[in-house]
Amino acid sequence: MEYWVTETHLPVVARYVLAFVFCVAAVSKLLSQEPLEKAVDEYKILPPYLVPIFATLLPAIELTVSVALALGMGIRPASVATLVLLISFAVAVGVNIIRGRDLDCHCFGSWFQDKVDWFTLLRILVLTALAAIVFVAPERSLGAGEQLILMIFGATAVVIAALLNRAVRLALRIGWPGGLPVGDVAPPFTGETIKGLLINLNDYLGKRLLLIFGFPRCNLCHRLVPRLNAFLRDHHGQVEALFLSHGSRMETLEFVLQSGISCPVITVEGEGLMDLYDVHSRPFAFLLDEGAVIRAKGLAYNEFHLDDLWRRAFAHKGPGEFYE
C-alpha cells in the first residue's frame, strides 16, 4: 500500500476525482430548486435548530474543499474536511437504510435523483477510501499567501451559498420560471381524460383547485405523485386536483397506470395550453380559489412545494391581497 501512495500517481488521481465530485455536489446544491434545509431535515439526524446552519455551510465547505484539492493548496486540512464530511454522510445514509426509510439521497441537489440504498453507501465508502489516500500521501507545507487565499475563498463561498439559497427560495415563491401572474383569472379550457370524460375548468367553480402541469415521462412528475396523493388526503374536502399531462394519450395512460395518481388526468397535446398559462417548466402548479382566481403558483417537486403553495394561496394579508 505504501508503494501505491508514495511511488505512483494514485494520490493525485484521487485528489482530482474528489475535487470534481465535491465541485458538482456543491454547485448542484447551490442551484437546486429544492431548498437544502428540507433535504437535510429528511434524514432526521440533526436537531431542528442545526438544520438551517448545516444546509448553508455544507455547499460552501464542499466548494472550498474542491478548490483546495484541485489547486493542491492545503491538501492535508482539505482531506481531513473531506473525510469528516464523507464519514458523516455514510453515517446518515447507513442509519436511514437500517431504519428502512424511503428517501432521496440529495447528494447532488435536484440535478440527479437517486434513492438512499446500499449502493449509495458503497459509493460514499469508495470516496472515503480515496480521501484517506490523499490524507496519508506526502504533502508540501502551505505558505502564508495560500492560507490567506483559502480563508478568503472559504468566507466568500459561505456568503455566496447563503445568497444563492435565499435567491432560490425567492424564485420558488414568485413562481419562477413563468406562470400567469397571481391574481389573474385562470383561462378556461376543456380536456379529455383517458376514460373519455370531458372536463371543463368551469366544472370546478365554487371549489379550490390545484392545477398541475406535468409530463408523463418526467421523473420528477412520477416522484411527485405519492406526495400529491398524500397532500390530497390531508386536505380532503378542501381542494380538488387536476393533472394536465403534456403528451400522447398512450403516454398518459402509462403514466396513470404506473404512478397510481388519484386525481383526474387530462391529456394535453401541443403547446397551446402551456403557452396560455405561460408554463415553461414541469411539474408546475397553480392553486385556484373558488372563483378560478390564481392564488399561488410555482414549481411542484415534492410535498414541501405543495404545502408552501397552500400556505401562500390561502394565508390572506388583507381583502383581495395575496402572497406572491
Are 33 and 131 in the same domain?
yes
pLDDT of residue 322: 41
Q: Which amino acid, 4?
A: W
**Under 8 Å between Cβ of 107 and 43:** no
Q: Give yes or no: residues 222 and 162 share one domain.
A: no
Question: Same domain, yes or no, for 262 and 144?
Answer: no
pLDDT per residue rounded down to tens, the chain (324 residues): 444 444 456 777 888 888 888 888 888 777 664 567 777 877 888 887 788 888 888 888 888 888 888 877 778 888 899 999 999 999 998 998 888 877 777 777 655 666 788 888 888 899 999 899 888 876 555 555 655 665 566 566 556 655 665 565 555 555 455 789 899 999 999 999 888 899 999 999 999 999 999 988 777 788 889 989 999 999 999 999 999 998 888 889 999 998 999 999 999 877 788 889 988 777 899 999 999 999 999 888 777 788 888 988 887 544 444 444
- Using CA atoms, how far residue 104 sits from 2, 109, 158, in Å, is 38, 10, 25
What's the pLDDT at 112? 61
Domain assignment of residue 198, yes or no: yes
For residues 22 and 163, state if they share a domain.
yes
Give the integer Cα–Cα distance in Å for 288 and 182: 9
Cβ contacts of residue 304 below 8 Å, gap of 6+? 34, 35, 38
Domain assignment present for residue 179? The answer is: no
Looking at the fold, whether 257 and 197 belong to one and the same domain comes out as yes
Query: How many separate domains does the chain show?
Result: 2
pLDDT for 20 equals 85
Using only C-alpha atoms, what is the Rg of the chain? 24
pLDDT at 320: 44
Asked if residue 161 and residue 24 are part of one domain, the reply reads yes
Residue 67 lies in a domain: yes
On whether residue 318 sits in a domain, the answer given is no
162 and 258 part of one domain? no
> Nearest-CA neighbor of 300 among 217, 215, 237, 236?
215
Q: Are strands 198-200 and 209-214 parallel, antiparallel or unpaired?
A: unpaired
Q: Give the C-alpha separation, 89 to 82, whole Å.
A: 10
| Contacting residues for 288 by C-beta, under 8 A, at least 6 apart | 186, 204, 208, 209, 210, 211, 294, 295
For 142-217, strand residue ranges (E) read 190-192, 198-200, 209-214
Cβ-proximal residues to 48 (8 Å cutoff; 6+ apart), any chain: 41
Q: Is the residue at 14 inside a domain?
A: yes
Confirm whether 299 is domain-assigned.
yes
Is residue 150 within 8 Å of residue 68, measured between CB atoms?
yes
The reply to whether 221 falls in a domain is yes
Q: What is the CATH number of the domain that holds 238?
A: 3.40.30.10
Question: Would you say the pTM of this structure is higher than 0.85?
Answer: no
Residues 247 and 153 both lie in one domain: no
| Final residue belonging to a domain, choices 144, 173, 202 | 173
Q: What is the pLDDT of residue 138?
A: 66
One domain for residues 169 and 209: no
Residue 105 and residue 208 share a domain: no
> For the range 310-317, what are the long-range contacts, defined as Cβ-Cβ under 8 Å and sequence gap of 24 or more?
310/231, 310/235, 310/239, 312/173, 312/287, 313/208, 313/287, 313/289, 314/208, 314/287, 314/289
Domain range spanning residue 225?
190-313
Residue 204 sits in the same domain as residue 158: no
φ/ψ region of 242 (left if φ > 0, alpha if ψ in -120 to 50, else beta) reads: beta
Contacts (Cβ under 8 Å, ≥6 apart) of 170 = none
Same domain, 148 and 35: yes
Would you say residue 258 lies in a domain?
yes
